[in-house]
Structure 1
Amino acid sequence: MRTSKVAKRYAQGLLNFTQEAGSTASVFGDMKDLVNTIEKSKELQSFFHSPIIEVKKKISVSEEIFKSFSPVTRNLIQLVIKHGREAQLINIGQEFINKVDDMNGVQRITLTSATALSDENIKNILKSTSLVNHNNQFDVKSIINPEILGGYILRVGDQQVDASVKSKLSRLKKEFQLN
């Protein structure tokens, strides 16, 4: 998923501010909670995307939902809503997380499988590839997509290993068509 220019600019501005203020760690935790909260609530996503709901109402509801956040994070949320960018909150939060992870040398790994994988299976998959730098920290995001039928798709940065049954069947189909 591509991140909008708006999200990148807000996230970079927030990162610059938190680095100067020395509050990057607390805002990082807040942003993880923000992204998690919005991702898990379709109602909250609809609320922020609604053009009918007034700005004051959105601000008061967000203040109540995110009251445990640091003042810096709460002020950012208010600013984003006042500028009519509340639909971008999740993207701003994710982009901030990505920027802090990049700054700290954390690799972002996406592992897509047809069913949920055990921690042991995830560790074995990560050990079997040279894409993962085991000397660095890494953040693994597991995605379940039954459409791949079986196997997995491992994405590290801009590189990908596709060991899914769907892609193998697709390759076989192409070979049969050529012969």
Structure 2
Amino acid sequence: MSSRAAIRYAKAVLEQANQGNIANVVFDDMQSVYATIEGSKELRSVLKSPVVKAEDKKEALVKIFENNSEVTKGLIQILTTNKRINLLGGVAESYISLYNESQGVKVANVTTAVALSSELETEVLAKVKQLTGSSQVTIHNTIDESILGGFILRVGDLQYDASIANKLGKIKREFSKSL
């Protein structure tokens, strides 16, 4: 979950991108930024490190994201100037969420014990479209073996937990109540 500061930066970036009619380009940039930061433990450590100079962080990020838009490069500059560069991943995550919301796209987060099959993914898409009334739905599948089986579906602030771990937990609570 992004911080309030990251959300504020993301709103400002989205507004700037909308004014320049490049919101979709910046959306692609932010997906790239988020995936890069989430995929690299070393990069996250460098961004959070008080030992690494802000200018060094900025130089590294500008090199990593040199093919991105000027809006994205400007965001890196502003975050560096304001000593908030560690928020970059959160800003990217918030921007993606805000952009999807502005486009009417619903994001369904599905947590399963194994990867979703194409048939199950189609079934989940249809169910989410029925529940939300939105024709634009994307699915993000997270694999968590601790749920044992079944799935956990989150769309916005709605959650449906049909995991085996949840059902076993309910049975355990019922047994402990009856003792």
TM-score in same-fold range (> 0.5): yes
Q: Cα offset for 1:128?
A: 4.5
Matches within 5 A, 1:7-18: 7-18=6-17
User: C-alpha distance in 1, partners of 2:65/2:127?
Assistant: 41
8 A contact 1:126–1:132 mirrored in 2? no
User: C-alpha distance in 1, partners of 2:165/2:113?
Assistant: 10
Matches within 5 A, 1:37-56: 37-56=36-55
Counterpart in the other structure of 2:131: 131
8 A contact 1:113–1:143 mirrored in 2? yes
Structure 2: gaps of 5 or more residues: none
Structure 1 residue identity aligned to 2:131: L
Aligned partner of residue 36 in structure 2, secondary structure: helix
Counterpart in the other structure of 1:32: 31
Q: Cα offset for 1:79?
A: 1.2
Matches within 5 A, 1:70-109: 70-109=69-108
User: C-alpha distance in 1, partners of 2:165/2:127?
Assistant: 20
Structure 1: gaps of 5 or more residues: none
Task: Figure out how many residues of one structure are paired with residues of the other and give that number.
Answer: 177
Structure 2 residue identity aligned to 1:67: E
Q: Cα offset for 1:125?
A: 3.1
Worse-matched range after superposition: 14-23 or 39-48 = 14-23
User: C-alpha distance in 1, partners of 2:126/2:14?
Assistant: 33
After TM superposition, the runs of 4+ consecutive aligned structure 1 residues lying more than 4 A away are none
Aligned partner of residue 162 in structure 2, secondary structure: strand
Residue deviations 1:97-139, cap 9 Å, x none?
1111111100011000112121222222343464343x42112
8 A contact 2:151–2:162 mirrored in 1? yes
8 A contact 1:108–1:140 mirrored in 2? yes
Residue deviations 1:45-100, cap 9 Å, x none?
11111111111111111111000001111111121122111111011011111111
Aligned-residue identity in percent: 36
Aligned partner of residue 45 in structure 2, secondary structure: helix
Aligned partner of residue 131 in structure 1, secondary structure: helix
8 A contact 2:108–2:139 mirrored in 1? yes
Matches within 5 A, 1:110-149: 110-128=109-127, 130-133=130-133, 135-149=134-148
TM-score, L = length of structure 2: 0.93
User: C-alpha distance in 2, partners of 1:73/1:178?
Assistant: 55
User: C-alpha distance in 2, partners of 1:44/1:16?
Assistant: 27
Aligned partner of residue 114 in structure 2, secondary structure: coil
TM-score, L = length of structure 1: 0.93
